[in-house]
Structure 1
Amino acid sequence: MRLANKKLLPTWLGFFPLIAWTILMTACSKEEKSVPKRPNIIFIMADDHASRTISAYEGAINHTPNIDRLAEEGAVFLNSFCGNSICGPSRATILTGKHSHMNGVTGNGAPWDSTQVVFPRLLKDAGYQSVLFGKWHLNSKPADEFDEYKILTGAGKQGFYYNPEFFTKGKGTETVEGYSTDLVTDDALQWLKESRNEEEPFLMLVQYKSTHVPRMPPLRLLNKYMDDTIPEPETFFDDFATRSHYATDVNFHIREHRPLPQYGTYDPKKENIYLARMSDEQLKAYHEVIDPQNREFQKMKEEGLLRGDSMKKYAYQRFIKDYLRCVDAIDENVGRILDWLDADEELKNNTIVIYCSDQDYFTGEHGYAEKRLMYEGAINMPLLIRWPDKIKPGTRVQDMVQNIDYAPTFLDMAGIEIPTDMQGKSFKPVVEDKSVPDWREAVYYHYYDHGQHVVGRHDGIRDKRYKLIHFYTDDTWEFYDLENDPNELYNAYGDKSYEAEIKRMEEGLVNLRKQYKVPEWVFSPPYVSLKGIEQTQGANKD
């Protein structure tokens, strides 16, 4: 082949450097794009949020469309458990990946060592922006694990619902007007919009006070469910016929409604620290809704219509409706975060969103309103995760996970090495639908706050079918077959037909104690309780 014009050859050859440079830059650009960005993590946690008040769970009594989005677009965990069903200990376990006896927070009054290894600090050290907004509820403030934080204070570190106090890193304490759940979300969204570095990944903890006692819904939701009757749980009138005295001794049975006085007849500053936070306008609006209900209650009581079971049923309705109103406020605010996030497709696809509670909560099961015990309804933890392109939409995880697994999982998701002393395991491969042949077959539980709410100290083991509980202060045992008795109405300990399974579970409990290095001294007197416990609740007091 001959060139049409030999004079063009030098000019044509002159383009070689430009062509080579273009090819090289294109290759480099493709290589940069092929390196995956580290995922952002938004961890949203409520307090005392029962699984049966999240409609992604079977048997739910309400509708939570925004929390459900995480289940529809990601995964809902059906066998998620805590290791110690109480606020401070569960939070410490989530942060450290260790059981209570290892991280030092065995009860709400226990000190918190803020220098120990926690997953937010490891993420921060690896280049993540790390921030916290909302409830902290540990007995010392964060150290250096967060670049920024703004935490609820007051009310025993629980925080107030109306016009709460916040402590901000570097600024101190201030009172902010508004409703707690809304304000925490406001802070989170403000940081996302105005303060984050878009070039670096972030970890954000958004932690609500709701649905913790004394359950004060926002004014906008006070009238919701007013004309509804919420179904009572099957076990609401449990007679505890086969259970030990530990089941009946507890002081959180729903028995009686205790109303507030009418508006203008009392001084909130002397009567109620939570109502004392409200402005006159807020307090008046609050009473405009509850006062007519309380007048009707007093009338029914005087007419003898509220005695025994009738009073218990009435108290349940007042309690559960306020509870659901608080849940609705959470769901609205989860929706605000998801709506903002989902407006940016790239950001949505590279952000893991987790929703959970620090533990489950008895919302009428066995006639209870609390947690602490190792029964279903307290030991569970609702858990939902969305991770686009990694978790298939509509995934329902049957594997047993526990709050010791959260820290190692988040580190694994971020590509960070998991410390060998963390006691949990990453469930990242579980949600990615990979085979995990050595995944756990049982979880360990241990409640330490002996005597608080008249709950005895106990530990136990739960596998996929059976549960063994040991109230070891007086060597009392309970055993349940959760397949045949999901409501835990029949204590089968001592039943000859379960003799082999009971022996197997007793051996399993001993093995788990050894595996998790539970010290022998905790099983010996004196069983000293720790101070700093929440107020007694029982039925809701509005």
Structure 2
Amino acid sequence: MKYILYLLLTGFSASIFAQKADRPNIIFIMSDDHALQAVSAYGHEVSKISPTPNIDRIANEGIKFDQSFVTNSLCGPSRATMLTGKYSHKNGFRANTDKFDSSQQTWISLLHDAGYTTGVIGKWHLKSTPKGFDHWNILNDQGEYYNPDFISNGDTTYVEGYTTDLVTDYSLDWIKEQKDADKPFALLIHHKAPHRNWMPPIRYANEFDNVEFPVPDNYFDDYEGRQAASEQEMVVYKDAQEGHDLKMSVAVGSDEWRKDIWPHLFDRLTDVQKEAWFKAYRAKNDKMNASQMTEKEMALWKYQRYLQDYCATVKAVDENVGRVLDYLDEQGLTENTIVVYTSDQGFYLGEHGWFDKRFMYEESFKTPLVMRYPKAIKAGNTAQAMVQNIDYGPTFLDYAGVTIPEDMQGKSLKTVAEKGKTPKDWRKSVYYHYYEYPGFHMVKRQYGVRTDRYKLIHFYNNIDTYEFYDLKKDPSEMNNLIDAPEYQDEIASLREELARLMKEAEEPPYESWKNTDYRKEARMRRLKEKKMKAQSKTK
């Protein structure tokens, strides 16, 4: 009786002090640019060559979402959306030039207030200090693949090692500290990999040297009828840096990399690491340099090199996911821990000739999503409900018994995850908006709507074009049918649905943002911050 009175007098909800077993631990693992095609649970031909057994394990012991989408296919904006449960225009982080206001409401801060111990380790990339976390140990900016700088509570530390391994090392150390605590924990494990420039650990640098990856049918796409697609700069055989991205040397016997826009690429490596790295690539580069390839043969060679490095980098991510799962098993934490694996967006593995993301086309619009919670989610289920990264926060809050704020724009996936079926009142379409043009890869600004079968995209700003696709008949999105007479009724219906979604998302009027200069806004913000910092020093 005295204990209950104490709780009431101190103003805390009794639910905060509920037994740890009553609320699940949460481990949210997010990689960077992990294509759905490279997760073998999804059955793509690429992943059959380079399987991901540990990520598959989460799917096999839980649920796999087949229709998982992002709202803005770009690193920073995707992370801001994940944290807030809100579209980019609502959380204020539309492009990588923006700065995330980490003082705003996030699902992690709400869990923290509800009694969870919270942490984030790895990539942050939001230009702000993490808030709502008891512990944070983040990579500097994008992070490096080798010997990265970690920032923890304001202190920057150089750490020798391979970053994917290090992020996992630190994560496991933190989980060990929580194992016997009387509070549940929520940990964000955020990998840099497999972000460009796809540097695998030395142990896997030659893993796929002797395999032939299947070349997409549209690798040599001519982009007919798709203006925005024709004006990008992300073609593997034209735009990937031969040194930085493809690790091509200048001549037989040379360890000098070809034209490289980031000459510091190997400055992070120790002499021992550098020699091991060059040794891993020397023979295959010599073979390339000694060959007499045609232009087309070289384009195909670059595709194989890209996939070899990309999949070797993914292999290390999968291996480290396995380390986390094994530890949970060893410590008896599996049953009461939600484990999610996803990526901040999808990625092109040569489709349309591309690497990178940004477009609303399927390969970058879709993202892998698998979830395991043995206590409540039946093993081996597959969901067809259309879900988005705005849904993650509401889901975790729902499972933790925390009220989902009305201003969060996503929906809890709890019912979908536990029943494996799509509720009758579930969304029938999803909304997308990409803002960052001009910028890296010169992908046009765009917004659009997708239903289970059709997609409508509006490219705007310095162009004004629409694209419409019948995904059932044209899953590779090669034929823009915006002017096809037989589809005009569907197009009209999608225009109405797009307008409805924009209104529901509280998107401001088109005229107010179609020509916004985000880079100028960022410059003005930085100047203002610099001025305020200077003024504070003089006081």
**Under a length normalisation based on structure 1, what TM-score does the superposition of the two structures give?**
0.87
The match for 2:201 is: 218
User: In the alignment, which residue of structure 1 is the partner of 2:401?
Assistant: 415
1:233 aligned counterpart, secondary structure: coil
Supply the distance in 1 between the matched residues of 2:254 and 2:327 (Cα, whole angstroms).
39
Alignment-derived partner of residue 506 in structure 2: 517
**Are 1:112 and 1:138, in contact at CA under 8 Å, matched by a contact in 2?**
yes
Q: Does structure 1 residue 200 correspond to structure 2 residue 183?
A: yes
1:195-231 superposed Cα distances (whole Å, 9 cap, x missing partner): 5553210001100000001111000001101111111
- Aligned-residue CA RMSD in angstroms? 2.2
Q: Residue in 2 aligned with 1:386?
A: 372
Decide which moves more: 265-274 or 51-60: 265-274
2:147 paired with 1:160: no
Q: Determine helix, strand or coil for the equivalent of 1:167.
A: strand
Question: Which amino acid in the other structure matches residue 430 of structure 1?
Answer: V
Gaps of 5+ in 1: 1-31, 534-542
Contact 1:269–1:276 (CA under 8 A) maintained in structure 2: no
Distance 1:184 1:76 in 2: 25
The equivalent of 1:120 in structure 2 is 108
**Residue in structure 1 matched with residue 446 of structure 2 by the alignment:** 458
Task: Write the distance in 1 (CA, Å) between the matches of 2:437 and 2:257.
Answer: 36
Report the TM-score when normalising by structure 2. Answer: 0.87
Corresponding residue of 2:42:
57
Q: 1:399 aligns with which of 345, 370, 385?
A: 385
Q: Percent identity?
A: 45
The equivalences for 1:8-407 within 5 A come to 37-61=22-46, 62-143=50-131, 145-153=132-140, 157-169=141-153, 172-194=155-177, 197-241=180-224, 243-256=225-238, 257-258=242-243, 259-261=248-250, 265=256, 272-300=263-291, 303=292, 305-307=293-295, 309-345=296-332, 347-407=333-393
Distance 1:481 1:340, change over 3 A: same
User: Equivalents in 2 of 1:196, 1:457: separation in Å?
Assistant: 46
Per-residue deviation, 1:107: 0.4
Q: Which has the larger radius of gyration?
A: 1
What do residues 55-76 of structure 1 show as CA deviations (whole Å, max 9, x unaligned)?
A: 0002241211110000110011
| CA 34–279 in structure 1, closer or farther in 2 if over 3 Å, else same | closer
- Counterparts in 2 of 1:66 and 1:522: CA distance versus 1, 3 Å: farther
Per-residue Cα deviation, 1:45-95 (whole angstroms, up to 9, x for no partner): 000000010000022412111100001100110000000000000000000
TM-aligned CA distance change 1:269 to 1:149, over 3 Å: farther
Q: Which runs of 5+ in 2 are unaligned?
A: 1-16, 524-539
Tell me the residue number matched to 2:5: none
* 1:54/1:60 contact within 8 Å kept: no
Q: By how many angstroms is 1:475 displaced?
A: 2.3
How far apart are residue 263 of structure 1 and its match? 5.7
* Count of residue correspondences: 491
Per the TM alignment, residue 238 of structure 1 is displaced from its structure 2 partner at its CA by: 1.9
Query: Could you list the per-position Cα deviations for residues 303-341 of structure 1 after superposition, in whole angstroms to 9, with x for gaps in the alignment?
Result: 3x231x211100000001000000000000000000010
Answer yes or no: is the 8 Å Cα contact 1:97–1:422 preserved in 2.
Answer: yes
Sort the Cα spacing of 1:328 and 1:502 in 2 relative to 1 into closer, same or farther, 3 A: same
Output the amino acid matched with 1:506.
Answer: R
Q: CA deviation at 1:272?
A: 2.7
8 Å CA contact 1:136–1:151 kept in 2: the answer is yes
Cα distance in structure 2, aligned partners of 1:267 and 1:446: 36
Q: Measure how far apart 1:521 and its partner are.
A: 4.9
> Is the 1:246–1:456 contact (alpha carbons within 8 Å) kept by the matching residues of 2?
yes
Q: Does the 8 A contact of 2:340 with 2:371 survive in 1?
A: yes
| 2:490 paired with 1:506 | no
The equivalent position to 2:481 in structure 1, one of 492, 498, 515, is 492
C-alpha separation in 1, matches of 2:262 and 2:255: 12
